[in-house]
Amino acid sequence: MPMRIEQIRLENDAKDLKTFRLSFCNKDDENGFNYKCGQFAMVSVPGIGESPIGIASSPLDKGILEFTVKRYPTGVVTTALHDLSEGDTIGVRGPMGNSFPLEDLMGKNLVIVGGGFAFTTLRSTIRYLLSDSQRKNYGAVTVIYGARSAGELLYKNELAQWQERSDLTTIVTVDKGSDSWQGRVGLVPNVLKESAPSALDAYCIVCGPPIMLKFTMPPLLELGFTPDKILTSLERKMTCGMGKCGRCNVGKYYVCKDGPVFSYDKIKDIPENGF
């Protein structure tokens, strides 16, 4: 499915994070592309390759798709994507994988914990939850988001807006503070412990690098979240996106097909869960 790049936004100071806003080249594709929060798609640059990227826009954002892509020096596709400019066409295959089960969570309180660059599908989720049609369906929503430094924080404008909203608690933290940073300093697991959101009637959605997940799970359990109420999204290298190529196996699960969203009880005993 070809899509046109409408807008490219730089997300950080290091200039290796960009958000691509895409529009559909064909109306049929647009009507056929129905996705949910937490899903991903295979984004391809012809002749270069394909990469699984989480969808950062909300299903309620009509007519567009947004992907936030980090460029790695060794990443062929991510580098190629970053070299593109507005107006170029790229390929999108998807949506793929399962999603955060937001319908099932209606009426519950939600704690959303994100770290670093893994915030993209969480942003999709938060945008969805905050929409006029959805906000009333859910209880209290707490967002804890951390990054290595202030320059690494994604979606700064939105974060500022969220922090001003009364129907949402947003805590933004950075690992390493700087002179210009006015906000909180501290690692996500510690901030989580300090803020101690109630586990009562609540589910937690947590996404982040493996090392963050590793240290976030114990405090969550302490706070009273049972493993089946902790949802996380895994990231793996993928080729097919259909549970065949074998690359994204985590135990018997294929992250592309059975995931990327897993409840913690499903994967906590698998040695290669990565955390």
Partner 1 sequence: MQPKDYAMQTIETKMREAIKDLFIHGKVDVVIGFQKGSRPQSARPFFARSADDAGKMIWNDHCSSNVAVFLPKLFEKPQRPKEGFKLPRVGVVTKGCDGRSIAGLVKEKQALRENLIIIGMPCGGMKPPSKHNGKKAADVGRACVECVNSTTSGADIVISGESKKPAKGDYARIKKFESLPANKRWERFVAEISKCIRCNACRQACPNCYCKVCFADQKKPSWAVPGAVLSDTIVFHIGRMFHQAGRCVECDACVNACPMGIDLRLFTQKLAMDAKELFGCVPGVTSEEVPPLQTFKQDDSECFITDPEEK
Partner 2 sequence: MAKDAEALGPIADGEHGAVLGPLSDTTALMLDYGNFKLPPKRRLFPQCEVISTYADGCVSETKQRSVKTVLFGIRPCDAQAIAHLDKVFLGDDAIDPYYKSRRDATLVISLACRRPASTECFCSSTGAGPASKAGADAMAWNLGTSLLFESITVKGEAFLKKHAALLREATPEELQASKKQESATLKELPTKSLADVPKLLKNQNDPAIWEEVSSTCLSCGACTYLCPTCHCFDFYDEKQGDGARKLRLHDACMFESFALEASGHNPRARASQRMRQRVMHKFSYAPENYNELFCVGCGRCIIHCPSSIDIRETVSKVIL
Backbone angles phi, psi at 41, to 5 degrees: -140, 160
Structure tokens at 221: 């359990």
- Write out the DSSP string of 92-105: EEEEES----TTTT
Reduced to 3 states (helix: H, G, I; strand: E, B; else coil), residue 246 is: coil
Residue 89 binds which one of partner 1, partner 2, none, with CB within 5 to 8 A depending on kind?
partner 2
> Is 227 a binder of partner 2 (CB under 8 A)?
no
Residue 91 binds which one of partner 1, partner 2, none, with CB within 5 to 8 A depending on kind?
partner 2
Closest by alpha carbon to 77, among 42, 116, 120, 117?
Answer: 42
> Is 191 a binder of partner 2 (CB under 8 A)?
no
The nearer residue to partner 2, 75 or 177, going by C-beta atoms, is: 75
- Write out the DSSP string of 166-179: SS-EEEEEEEE--T
Applying CB under 8 A, which of residues 214, 249, 263, 268 lies at the interface with partner 2?
249
Closest by alpha carbon to 143, among 179, 180, 178, 184?
Answer: 184
Whole-number minimum distance, CB 49 to partner 1, in Å? 8
Binding site for partner 1 (CB under 8 A): 74, 76, 79
The nearer residue to partner 1, 55 or 80, going by C-beta atoms, is: 80
Strand 17-24 to 2-10 pairing: antiparallel
Binding letters toward partner 2, positions 44-63, x by CB under 8 A:
x-xxxxxx------------
Whole-number minimum distance, CB 254 to partner 2, in Å? 8
> Is 89 a binder of partner 2 (CB under 8 A)?
yes
User: For the purposes of burial, counting CB atoms within 10 Å of the CB of 176, is it exposed (0-12), middle (13-18) or buried (19 or more)?
Assistant: exposed
The nearer residue to partner 1, 79 or 169, going by C-beta atoms, is: 79
Residue 257 binds which one of partner 1, partner 2, none, with CB within 5 to 8 A depending on kind?
partner 2
**Helix 120-129 × helix 156-164 angle, to 10°:** 40
Whole-number minimum distance, CB 82 to partner 2, in Å? 12
Whole-number minimum distance, CB 203 to partner 2, in Å? 26
Q: Residue 221 in contact with residue 193, Cβ under 8 Å?
A: no
205/152 Cα distance (integer angstroms): 21
Residue 210 binds which one of partner 2, partner 1, none, with CB within 5 to 8 A depending on kind?
partner 2
Binding-site ranges for partner 2 (CB under 8 A): 2, 44, 46-51, 70, 72, 74-78, 89, 91, 210, 235-237, 239-240, 242-252, 257, 269, 271-272, 274
